[in-house]
Amino acid sequence: MLTPDIYALRQTFMQERILLSFNGPFTESLIDEIGSALREHMLALVESPSAITDVFSMYIEMTQNIRRYTMEHDLQGAAASAIIVVSRDSDGVYTVSAGNMVYHADGERLLARAQSLQEMDKVALKAAFKAQLRQPRDTSKKFNGAGLGLIDMARKATFPLRATLTVEDTDFSFFSLHASL
């Protein structure tokens, strides 16, 4: 029988100024529900419609990227369990963070991609977004994204994206991404 230390968990949530979080397998309906809760929470904080749109957009792009990856590789069990966290610091800066299990090589590729975006200014990011928008769609993949999510987050964020990769076992690494605005 488990007795989770919810007091310690709560302390962590308070210290990290976490507004909202979920850890487990992401489903489409769950993403929608948590997203609605996020918007309502921000409305209650009297945030501007633009700020709500921006934070919501980070949340959607991160969770949908993870969903797509998990389905594409048919990940199960612990490998399909991901985390999303939205926090807000005392200056009102929101940080949307997400992490999931990825195959080592994919993790390296994602990390390199995030790092290349860190070096671009807003003009370069807009050009990269438009170039990606014009790429032919890869119809060979069943769970096809437009490949625009990371660039879009980098464009909307007011700080460079932060990404880390932690080796988990022989197959997987844990990829984490933070976007602040």
Using alpha carbons, select from 116, 115, 121, 120 the residue that is nearest to residue 162.
115
Please, which residue, 16 or 35, has the CB nearer to another protein?
35
CB of 57 to another protein, least distance (A): 7
Full strand arrangement of the beta sheet holding 94-103? 18-25, 81-88, 94-103, 172-180, 162-167
Query: Which residue among 28, 40, 138, 171 contacts another protein (CB under 8 A)?
Result: 28
Instruction: Determine if 36 is a binding residue for another protein (CB under 8 A).
Output: yes
Site for another protein in 44-83 (CB under 8 A): 48-50, 53-54, 56-57, 60-61, 64, 67-68
Quickly tell me which residue has 């992490």 as its tokens.
99
Which residues of this chain interact with another protein, rule CB under 8 A?
Answer: 28, 31-32, 36, 48-50, 53-54, 56-57, 60-61, 64, 67-68, 126, 133, 137, 144-146, 148-149, 152
